[in-house]
């Protein structure tokens, strides 16, 4: 997969993600977390997904990257802007600092 540009806009209540496929927004986020993923079609590549958790809704993938440190940076930057605490989520990737 070729690299693509991703734009993330965060205001007080929502996160908008735009990439080459289009844009989407997520509101009422309760928690953000990073998960290590290995898509079935890419058996030897590992990706790190930044997910948003919202009450009563399925978890929503916000961003995928091959770099775990980038995923954690994005997670923390959005959490800081939204005023969310960085609380552990079951199955979440924890990257050593």
State pLDDT tens for residues 41-91.
Answer: 666 778 899 999 999 999 999 998 988 899 999 999 999 999 998 887 776
Residues in a beta bridge with 52: 32, 60
Residue 84 confidence (pLDDT):
92
Residue 70 confidence (pLDDT):
92
Residue 39 confidence (pLDDT):
66
Residues in a beta bridge with 66: none
The secondary structure of residue 45, as a DSSP letter, is: -
Beta strands in 1-97 (DSSP E): 7-10, 14-19, 22-27, 31-37, 47-53, 60-65
Report whether pLDDT(16) > 70.
yes
pLDDT band for position 97 (cuts 50, 70, 90): very low
CB contact at 8 A, 75 and 32: yes
d(C-alpha 38, C-alpha 17), whole Å: 22
- The whole-model pTM stands at 0.82
């Amino acid at each position: 997969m070729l690299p693509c540009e991703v734009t993330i806009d965060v205001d007080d209540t929502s996160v908008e993600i735009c990439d080459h496929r289009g844009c989407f927004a997520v509101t009422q986020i309760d928690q953000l977390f990073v998960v290590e993923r290995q898509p079935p079609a890419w058996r030897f590549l590992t990706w790190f997904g930044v997910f948003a958790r919202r009450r009563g809704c399925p978890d929503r993938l916000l961003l995928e990257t091959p770099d775990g440190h980038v995923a954690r940076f994005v997670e923390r930057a959005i959490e800081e802007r939204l005023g969310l605490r960085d609380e552990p989520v079951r199955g979440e990737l924890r990257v050593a600092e």
